[in-house]
Structure formats: structure tokens, C-alpha cells
Amino acid sequence: MAANTPTTDGTGGQSAMDERILKAATSGIFWDIEVLATKSPSILLGVTPQGNNCLHISTIHGHEEFCLYALALERSLLENVNCENETPLVIAVSLGHASLASKLLQQCCGRPRLSRAILQQDRYGFNALHHAIRNGHKQLALDLIAEEPALSGAVTRYNESPMFIAVMRNFVDVLENLLDIVDSSHMGQYGCHALHAAARNGNKDIALQIMKKRPRLATEADWDGITPLRMAISYNKVDVLQVLLEQRSSLAYETDKDGYPLLYSAATRGQVDVARALLKFCPDAFYCRLVIEKSPIIGESSLSGDTLTCLQIAVKNGHLEFVKFILQTRQLRKLINMQDKVGRTALHYAVEQCDPRLVAALLSHGSIDPTILDNRGNSAASQLSSITIVDKTLDWKEVHVLMSKADPNDDDISLYNLRKGAKKQENIRSRRQRESMTQKYRSNTSLVAILLATITFTAAFTLPGGYSSDSGNAGLATMSGKVTFIVFLIFDTLAMCSAFVVAFICLMGKWEDDKFTTCYIFVTKKLTWFAYLATVTAFSTGLYTVLAPRIHWLAILICSLVAFFFILTIFIAKWPSLKLSFRLGQTWHDLELKFLQWFDLQFQFQ
């Protein structure tokens, strides 16, 4: 009997919940609670150890009828909070019971005493409006704003306001109502605010509304100093960027805490559309870092020569389209030959990147000067000497030809001087890396050689046509009198011997010595290639020997395919260089004579 009557425990002086009420609230059966409440009016006010009353419990389970019936008996249940500082309304919204939350809100409407129940924030600072927006209940959020506008000013423990969450969810209609409230908060996490969220999402309509109602937010940065405009650039949201600049064009002159302008950020990411929008509203946008220096002539702001221009940054990051955009933009053409603090131009960096596309784009502009020297007297072409044998040789070839055409009088472009510089760079490289490459080459080559030797050795004992069983010729090859059979034996033997020599060199050679290594690589590549072709030739002649007496056309077709195979393999091996020679307008023979000495060692290691 004691379990069925309210008793006092350690729950803040409140009565413990009657077990019959707890079961009724959990199951949603409400017809017995009126009898219980008549006998003991305070029975509905009992709470669980978590501080939940019967309205909390029924709300958790979404029992609308029980909630409304309990409120008809005791309306003060709406004001009670549990140990999480949650009212039944907050619980209903947070758990997604939108219909129940709307009915609980109606119970509070027109009753000033119950306004606290609407404004209540849980232990994390979330109120009913926060939860409604975050859970996507837009109509409920609008109803909450209309009933209690003060909800819009609450900020959670994580510095999130209802407006910030609404913008993150792209709820335009909710935002419109929040902006109409003068004291509504726009705060967000990490010092961000609602305009940051609009820039992140790329929602230009929301950004326009915020700029019209609260234009000051355009200059308010987060804790890292990032403004909404810079965030729009970071996320490549050009539409938002244009809206912000249309409302306030002076924003295009913004620099970050280190003095870097917006055009610099666009160049880093290769964002041509962003740069075009910035120059549209700000024709004289800063193109490199802005520093604060006291000067009686230019005032306190000046451009720093210690950093790269936006063109040089675009080249270093390999953004070809951005480079072309700068070359085509009149107000930025002065950047083409502009030098940094060490005297390098954009062409210096393009050659250093060994990117023929960037070099060709820069050289195609009529204002480019390929003869500019840096502070150490080095031309742009001299940067090729830093490209060693592990780099892309075909790109090196193309860049060399382009620079030779641009400045044929530059002594730094000569193969002799470039080879001296590259040799010096190679001596600096780690010997361990070279040994690793050599070991990999030995392993792969020896594997191929052993495979070819196995194939040819097996073919020598499984001769085409088999062996004769006639008396007097027993054990002899049946096709031994045919010329094609003799050709088969010759090429099969040559292939097997070549493969064995390659395998022997890979396993027993003195690879520790650089001179021996160079010789070994040259010999093994030639012998492996010969063994490869000899094996295919032996295959075709063997089939011809067997098929020619009966299916002559098929035998000829197989030999023709093998002949075509020879041509195809040579074409594939030479195709990159052939393509390069075609693009540069030179014959393959000219390129070979020009680059054979320089690149022979590089091709051996690659």
C-alpha cells in the first residue's frame, strides 16, 4: 500500500511518482487517472528519480490523448522541468513529436504564466525553437516564433542561435521571420554567424536578405579571421560572392590578418570565376600581399615585394586556366614580367615546374620577356638544370625546345650547361634511392627473363608436328626438313640463350658499381627486347610449319599479325616522343639527335 501513495525522497523535495501513474503514462491509458487524482489531487505531480512527471513520460512516448487529459486535470505540469532542464514541450520537439508539441504550445498560448515553459532551455542551452529548426519542423518553428519571439535570442552552449541553424538548413521562410525580430541572435559556432552559413551553403537568396537587414555582418569575421566573403571564396560559391559585392563593392579590397588579398586566395585555388567577379567590382584589386608601412608618400598601406604575385602563385599550383585568365586580363598584364624578392618571374616558376602547358601559355603572350635574370643571374631556362633523372623527360624536352625558341641566345639553355647542373643535383640525391630503383629493375627484369627462358625451353621439347615413330626415323622431328622448322629452332634457341644471359647478369652482376650498373641496364634491356621478339617469331614460324600444308591462308595471316606486332610495339614505345615531335613541329630524327646524349642515361633508369 505504501508503494501506491506519494512519498518524499531525494528528488528536490518532490513526491515520488505513483507506480499506477507511471504505468498509465507509459502505456497511454488515461481513463483511470481522474479517479486517482480525485482521491489524491497531488498524485499527478509525482516525479521519477530523473525528475520527469507524468506529462514528461507520456510526451516521451508520444501519447497525445493522455497528455491533454492530464493537462485538463493539472495545467502546471507544463512548467515542470526534469534533471535535464527539459519541459514537456522541449521533449516533444526534440523527439520529433511535432503534432504533440503544437498542442502543448496551444495550451500555453494566451497564458502569460506559462511563457516560461515556452522559453525554457535544456542543460545544453537548446530551447524548443532550436530543436524545431534542427529537426526540420518548419511550421512548428514558425508557430513558436509567432507565439514567443524571445525564443530567437537564445544561444546554446555551442554558440548556436536559431537563425544560424535555420540558415544552415536553408529554411528561407523561418529566416525571414527571425530577421524581422530586432533582437534575434545570429551567432554560430567558432565565431561564425548567419552570413557565414549562407556563404558556406551558397544560398544567394538568404545572403541577400541578411545583407539587406544586417549589412554589418559582411565585415564580421570568425575566430580565424575569415569573413563571409572569404568563406564564399573558400567554398567557391560565386553566386554568394556576387551578391555580397553587389551590396557592398568595397568588400573586394578585403585582406586577411596576414595581409593577403582575395585575389591571392582565388589564385591559390585556381578559381577563375571568383577572380572575374572580384575584378568586376574592384578593377584595381590587390594582386599580392598588403603590408602596413609608414610612408609619407603612399600612406600606411603598400604592396609587399616579399611575397609572390597571384600569377606566380597560380603557376606554382599548376592552375593553367587561371594563368590564361590573367594573361587575357588587361589590368593584370603587368604581372607577366613582375619579379619577386629573389628576382624570379612567373616564367622562372613555370620552367621550374617543368610544365610545358604553363610555359607555352606564358611564352604565347607578346609581352613576356624570357631574358629576365633573377638576383643570382639565372635565366628562366636555367631552372631546367634542377630537373634530374627521376623527373618527366618528355616534359623536359618540350620545355627545353620552347625556351630555345623563345631565347636562342641564352647560354644557359645549352645541353652542356644543363647537364652540368643536373649532374650536380644528381650527386646531391640520396644514393639509397638510386639503389632502390636498381633493385626494383633487377627483380622485374630477372622475372621476365626467367619466364621467357621457361617458355622457350619447353617449346624446344614440344616441337611442332611432334616426333616420328617410323622405323629408322624414330625419335626424329617430323618437320625437320622444312625451312620454317629450322627458323623456329634458331629463334627459339636465340630467345632462350638471351633470356639466360639476362637472368645471369641480374643475379650475378656487380650492380654496386655505377659504371657496371649503367652497362648492365643497357645490355639487359636490349637482350630482353631481342628475346621477347625472338620468342614471338618462334611462335609464328612453329604454327606456320604445322598449318601451311592444310590451311595455308591461316598460316600466312598469323605471320602477318606477328610482323604487324613488331611494328606496333616499336610505335607504342616511340609514341610519346613522336607525339611531342609532332606538336613541336620537328622530325623524330631531329629530336633524337638533339636529346639522345642527355636523356640516354635517364631512360635507362626509368
Residues 538-569: pLDDT tens digits?
Answer: 888 877 877 777 787 777 887 778 777 777 77
CA angle at 292 for the pair 291 and 293, rounded to the nearest 5°: 110
Integer-rounded Cα radius of gyration of the chain: 41
Alpha carbon distance 162, 186 (integer Å): 8
Distances (CA, A) of 217 to 142, 163, 187, 234: 24, 13, 10, 18
Alpha carbon distance 274, 265 (integer Å): 9
Q: Do residues 224 and 192 touch, judged by C-beta distance below 8 A? A: no
573: its cell numbers: 614505345
- What is the model's pLDDT at position 285? 80
Task: Write out pLDDT tens, residues 169-190.
Answer: 999 999 999 999 999 999 999 9
Alpha carbon distance 261, 253 (integer Å): 7
Q: Do residues 265 and 230 touch, judged by C-beta distance below 8 A? A: yes
pLDDT at 122 over 90: yes
81: its cell numbers: 522541468
Kindly list the domain boundaries of the chain, sorted by start residue: 19-217, 337-409, 431-599
* Region 198-222 average pLDDT: 95
pLDDT higher at 595 or 258 = 258
Task: Determine the residue type at 31.
Answer: W
- What is the model's pLDDT at position 95? 95
Q: Which of 316-325, 407-416, 529-538, 586-595 has the lowest mean pLDDT?
A: 586-595
- What is the model's pLDDT at position 585? 60
Proportion of the chain above pLDDT 70, given as a percent: 80
Proportion of the chain above pLDDT 90, given as a percent: 43
Could you tell me which of 67, 76, 73 has the C-alpha nearest to residue 104? 67
Q: Tell me, yes or no, if the two domains 19-217 and 337-409 fold the same way.
A: yes
- What is the model's pLDDT at position 381? 85
Task: Write out pLDDT tens, residues 372-402.
Answer: 999 988 888 888 777 654 445 677 778 888 8
Task: Say which CATH topology domain 337-409 has.
Answer: 1.25.40
- What is the model's pLDDT at position 594? 47
pLDDT higher at 310 or 511 = 310
Return all residues near 163 (Cβ < 8 A) that are at least 6 apart: 152, 175, 178, 179, 184, 185, 186, 194
Task: Write out pLDDT tens, residues 53-88.
Answer: 999 999 999 999 999 999 988 888 999 999 999 999
CA angle at 598 for the pair 594 and 599, rounded to the nearest 5°: 100
Alpha carbon distance 398, 403 (integer Å): 9
Task: Determine the residue type at 531.
Answer: A
- What is the model's pLDDT at position 350? 93
Identify each DSSP E strand in 265-422 by its residue range. 290-295, 299-303
**What would the DSSP string read from start to end of 250-268?**
GGGG-B-TTS-BHHHHHHH
To which CATH superfamily is domain 19-217 assigned? Ankyrin repeat-containing domain (1.25.40.20)
pLDDT at 10 over 60: no
pLDDT higher at 312 or 574 = 312
Residue 291 class from Cβ within 10 Å (0-12 exposed, 13-18 middle, 19+ buried)? middle
